[in-house]
Structure 1
Amino acid sequence: MKAVLCETLGPPSKLVVRDLPEPRPGPGEVAVRVRAAALNFFDTLIIEGKYQFKPQLPFSPGAEFCGTVAALGEGVTGFAEGDLVAGFPGWGACRETVVVPAAKLVHVPAGADPEQAAGLIVTYGTTLHALADRAKLKPGETLAVLGASGGVGAAAVEIGKLLGARVIAAASSPDKLDFCRALGADEVIDYTREDLKERLKELTGGRGVDVVYDPVGGDYAEPALRSMAWQGRYLVIGFAAGQIPKIPLNLVLLKGCDIVGVFYGKFAEVEAEADRANTARLLGWLAEGRLKVAIHGRYPLERTVDALEALARREIKGKAVIVMEADAAAAR
């Protein structure tokens, strides 16, 4: 089988494609023939050793995938060869066959597109956990999404609408804002041209927003926090801007608000059953057509480097998906 490998830490250009022996599952494991793997921004960090998880070299990037069960290890129940499944191993999915613990797999229902299912778990799983479990978002509340055209941001716009919120999407260019409108955003803000705090206040009639979803950090964090309503919830998703903000805690006191950490990887590890239930809920929505994972580009395995470089340049709107079929079309 072919696999994209990180053999030396560094930028995407250091990745290589190797032919490896077909893996066999051990006890409690399942071998899955990957149909599609999805990339996330943190893949650009993990291959440089800059992420909180540091896999042993060599490893494949790609935290999530969808594929068909090829072989079952000893003791595995609930799956059969040929089943369509999705999984979140954390890394290792950019290869033609992946072996993962059965506990990290979920069945993909009929009617769900495999490429969209591949891109669902991390960004939409993070977002459903953030909005439903951590923020307890209620119908009618106002949700402000920073970095709204990226993978998790786009998921927040979609899921926010599904949960009944009024969604304000903030992004950095007119084409990204158009993308957010197409996802269902009620209002948009270009925070490179508009004052984020003032616009959020204006769009809420001075009341402020109930929930801020922030995967960006950097200079936008404090203005967003200053725009919050009484007893609002500020969700810390990540720091795509590269800078971890230092928040004046007096703002938290004055607004009676909460700053809530969202660490999806840890949640999936320590609350595995709750995570599987969330993933099943998301896949159900996908199969029913209630959400649609926005795929920016489909790349063959050999062009994983191109996909990661586009992610690093912040060019991806939605998801970059690695398609394993031999006749995979060029990125579009």
Structure 2
Amino acid sequence: MRAYHLTSAGGQARLTDLPDPVPGPGQIGVTIRACGLNFADLLMLKGTYQDTPSLPFTPGMEIAGVIDSLGTGVTGLTPGDRVAIYSGQGGLAQRGVFDAARVVKIPDEMPFEHAAAFQIAYGTSHMALDYRARLQPGETLLVTGAAGGVGLTAVEIGKLMGATVIAQARGDDKLAVAKAAGADHLIGADEDLRARVLELGGADVVYDAVGGELWKAAFRACNPEARLLPIGFASGEVPQIPANHILVKNLTVIGFYIGGYLKFRPEAVTQSLATLIGWYLQGRLKPHVSNLLPLDQVEEGLALLRDRRSTGKVVITM
């Protein structure tokens, strides 16, 4: 099988031929049809991600495909089932072997590229806003990096949950994408984010995918008892959180990493995905795949993320 594989630290991942994997106990073999790209894939390839696999490895954190084989002890699944899997790695290949506990069946009405674009972005936003931040109808949600693959889903899900959504993004084209996803108010990169959010009544929940100066401004635009979610650090700067300010304003900073739930509570992830797929079938969610590329153009796809030129998700097809 062909796979985009990294063999050494500091080296360059390359498309190469690898032996077909064989599922072990509790695992399934999958013919992969599509793999969603994430900023975390870039960090893994650099060796700076908090959950980088041991070398050698194939990146690709979320896949969709068809089960082609079963390991011993697997029940409730059969070859031919269409499935989505938050794999964590191994997605940028023609085939893969994954733990059956991570599998969610997908309906025939859901294209593979939507299923592959769906899991991390929508799953992160749904679990972060609902399970962790307890976003309530009528509250104000601020989303930074709101036109990115994850930020855009936070706009969409926040609106579905009844919040007033303020979206921050760079450029008119990205702001237009956020508006189409349901944002009530838009803030461009050249605007004073703190001042604009306070003009709009302040933020009750902050979903920050950027970090750096935007985090600092968002932090200062919070209402008392606001909840802040540091989701990602696309700016390259991990923010430092002043504990004295948290105390004075009665703020809550909530850690959330969806990949961690795969290790200590995987059923929370699969339950969230089942809810989201139900919303998708009702027409309430509309995944935005901005770029669909074949496996031999995976480096071009990663460059779109690195240069922040994508709006929505970049998906690789096999």
**Which TM class, normalised by the smaller chain length?**
over 0.9
Q: Which residue of 1 aligns with 2:259?
A: 265
CA distance in 2, matches of 1:246, 1:25: 43
Structure 1 residues 10 and 178: CA distance shift in structure 2, 3 A: farther
- 8 Å CA contact retained: 1:154, 1:183: yes
CA distance in 1, matches of 2:144, 2:63: 26
Q: Give unpaired runs (5+ residues) of structure 1.
A: 325-332
1:274 alignment partner, one of 268, 278, 281: 268
What is the one-letter code of the residue matched to 1:7? T
CA distance in 2, matches of 1:21, 1:252: 52
Report how many aligned residue pairs link the two structures: 318
CA distance in 2, matches of 1:288, 1:5: 38
Instruction: Name the SS of the counterpart of 1:219 in structure 2.
Output: helix
Instruction: Name the SS of the counterpart of 1:298 in structure 2.
Output: strand
CA distance in 2, matches of 1:268, 1:102: 12
Q: Which residue of 2 aligns with 1:300?
A: 294
Q: Which residue of 2 aligns with 1:247?
A: 241
2:89 alignment partner, one of 74, 91, 94: 91
Q: Which residue of 2 aligns with 1:5?
A: 5
Q: Larger deviation: 314-323 or 251-260?
A: 251-260
CA distance in 1, matches of 2:15, 2:108: 32
What is the one-letter code of the residue matched to 1:61? P
Asked if 1:67 is matched to 2:61, the reply is no
- 8 Å CA contact retained: 1:233, 1:257: yes
Q: Which residue of 2 aligns with 1:137?
A: 135
- 8 Å CA contact retained: 1:119, 1:321: yes
TM-aligned CA deviation for residue 10 of structure 1: 4.2
Q: Which residue of 1 aligns with 2:199?
A: 202
Asked if 1:48 is matched to 2:42, the reply is no
TM-aligned CA deviation for residue 52 of structure 1: 1.0
What is the one-letter code of the residue matched to 1:87? I
CA distance in 2, matches of 1:27, 1:254: 52
Instruction: Name the SS of the counterpart of 2:68 in structure 1.
Output: strand
Q: Which residue of 1 aligns with 2:17?
A: 19
**Equivalent pairs: percent with the same residue?**
45
- 8 Å CA contact retained: 1:63, 1:89: yes
Q: Which residue of 2 aligns with 1:230?
A: 224
- 8 Å CA contact retained: 1:15, 1:305: no
CA distance in 1, matches of 2:13, 2:309: 20
CA distance in 2, matches of 1:183, 1:7: 40
> Per-residue CA shift, 1:250-275, capped at 9, x if unaligned?
32122211111111111232111111
TM-aligned CA deviation for residue 229 of structure 1: 1.1
> Per-residue CA shift, 1:118-153, capped at 9, x if unaligned?
111111111111100111001111100001011110
CA distance in 2, matches of 1:155, 1:186: 14
1:215 alignment partner, one of 203, 209, 212: 209
Q: Larger deviation: 96-105 or 243-252?
A: 243-252
What is the one-letter code of the residue matched to 2:153? A
Q: Which residue of 1 aligns with 2:165?
A: 167
Q: How does 1:26-45 map to 2 (within 5 A)?
A: 26-45=24-43
CA distance in 2, matches of 1:235, 1:290: 24
Instruction: Name the SS of the counterpart of 1:265 in structure 2.
Output: helix
CA distance in 1, matches of 2:161, 2:110: 20
Instruction: Name the SS of the counterpart of 2:286 in structure 1.
Output: coil
> Per-residue CA shift, 1:49-81, capped at 9, x if unaligned?
011122222211110000011001111101011
TM-aligned CA deviation for residue 248 of structure 1: 2.4
Structure 1 residues 124 and 10: CA distance shift in structure 2, 3 A: farther
1:178 alignment partner, one of 176, 179, 184: 176
Instruction: Name the SS of the counterpart of 2:213 in structure 1.
Output: helix
Q: Which residue of 2 aligns with 1:193?
A: 190
- In the superposition, the TM-score normalised over structure 2's length comes to 0.97
- 8 Å CA contact retained: 1:147, 1:153: yes
TM-aligned CA deviation for residue 15 of structure 1: 2.1
What is the one-letter code of the residue matched to 1:19? D
- 8 Å CA contact retained: 1:225, 1:251: no
Q: Which residue of 2 aligns with 1:149?
A: 147
TM-aligned CA deviation for residue 287 of structure 1: 2.2
Instruction: Name the SS of the counterpart of 2:273 in structure 1.
Output: helix
Instruction: Name the SS of the counterpart of 1:172 in structure 2.
Output: coil
Instruction: Name the SS of the counterpart of 1:285 in structure 2.
Output: helix
- In the superposition, the TM-score normalised over structure 1's length comes to 0.93
Instruction: Name the SS of the counterpart of 2:46 in structure 1.
Output: coil
Instruction: Name the SS of the counterpart of 2:156 in structure 1.
Output: helix
CA distance in 2, matches of 1:173, 1:10: 33
Q: Which residue of 1 aligns with 2:277?
A: 283
1:316 alignment partner, one of 304, 310, 316: 310
> Cα RMSD (Å) of the superposition?
1.2
> Per-residue CA shift, 1:160-189, capped at 9, x if unaligned?
111111111001111111111111111110
